[in-house]
Every structure is written in C-alpha cells, then in structure tokens.
C-alpha cells in the first residue's frame, strides 16, 4: 500500500473512531434529557399546539416502561373522567407556566445502568433545577423518574402518578362523566 493509501486508511480509522466517540458521548444519560428539553422548548414555543415529552410520540422513546405507563394511565384517567390527573404542572419546567432559558444539563452520578442527571435553567426569571433518575432499558438511557422542587419541597413525579384514582377502567370502577 502506498503512503497515500496508508494515510487515507489512517484518516478513515480516525474518522470512524471519532464518530464512535461522538456517538457514545451523545448517547449518555444526559443526551436523553437534552432531547426531552428540545421537545419541551418546541412545545412551549407552540403554545400547546405540540405535544410535551410525556405524551406520544415522545413518551415511549424518552421514558422507561414504568414511567411511560404511569403517564399513560394519568392520560387515560383524564380522558375517562374529564378531571385533572395526578399531575397539574409540567414536570420538565417544574410548574404550570414557564420557559427554559440558559439550559445546562449535567450528569450528577452514573454507576452501571443507573444515573442521575440534572437540568438547570431559568424560568420566568428564577433558577430551576429538575432532577432525573435515568436507567438503561434495552440499550438506551431513558428517564425513570423526575424530581421537582416547589417551595423548597422536593417530590418525585413517579410517586404522584402512582397515587390511586377515584375511577377509571384501570381501577375497575367506571367514571361517571
């Protein structure tokens, strides 16, 4: 092989290595949270005309089967009852109204197939931090829970969504609408 051939082969190998590293870095637990915030920012800009990350088509891609199932059950309750579900705010902005400015996503900890990721941003002039419990599920990192803090009280969204409902087909008690 000529020097040019060796040079091209080395360049190709470096290119593949660089692509693999970029893919690996872009596939960490923080990448999933960044994708969720891209959806959130689009939804906020659309003034409710686009779906948030906890609804289809995003829910099953971004969330664990457990958390996606809890959000789906909450949606089903709202549809069947006509009432508000167990969550009355946007868990990605930690409130009912807000925006996402100066987003910074960082990995707090990572061990094996579990990680903690934080999203820090400004919303309506205030600093907000949202925590994410991440798990690897069938390969990719997905959100398994979300922690919001309101008035210095932290709560997990999964805990709220796990609360019982007054009615619903999944509760074997039809809703009277």
Please write the tens of the pLDDT for every residue from 94-139: 988 899 999 999 999 999 999 999 999 999 999 999 999 999 999 9
Q: Is the pLDDT of residue 11 over 90?
A: no
127, 106 contact by CB (below 8 A): no
29, 110 contact by CB (below 8 A): yes
pTM of the predicted model as reported, rounded to 2 decimal places: 0.83
| φ and ψ of 99, to 5 deg | -150, 175
d(CA 82, CA 5): 68
d(CA 90, CA 45): 14
130, 36 contact by CB (below 8 A): no
């Amino acid at each position: 092989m000529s020097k040019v051939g060796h040079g091209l082969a080395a360049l190709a190998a470096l290119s593949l290595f660089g692509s693999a590293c970029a893919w690996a870095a872009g596939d960490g637990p923080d990448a999933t949270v960044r994708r969720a915030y891209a959806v959130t920012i689009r939804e906020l800009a659309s003034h409710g005309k686009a779906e948030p990350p906890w609804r289809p088509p995003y829910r099953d891609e971004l969330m664990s089967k457990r958390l996606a199932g809890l959000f789906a059950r909450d949606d089903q309750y709202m549809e069947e009852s006509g009432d508000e579900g167990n969550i009355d705010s946007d868990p990605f902005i930690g409130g009912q109204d807000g925006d996402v400015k100066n987003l910074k996503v960082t990995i707090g900890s990572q061990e094996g197939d579990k990680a903690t990721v934080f999203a820090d941003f400004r919303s309506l002039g205030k600093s907000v931090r949202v925590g994410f419990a991440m798990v690897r599920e069938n390969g990719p990192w997905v959100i398994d829970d979300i922690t919001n803090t309101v008035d210095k009280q932290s709560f997990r969204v999964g805990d709220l969504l796990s609360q019982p409902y007054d009615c619903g087909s999944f509760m074997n008690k039809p809703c009277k609408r």
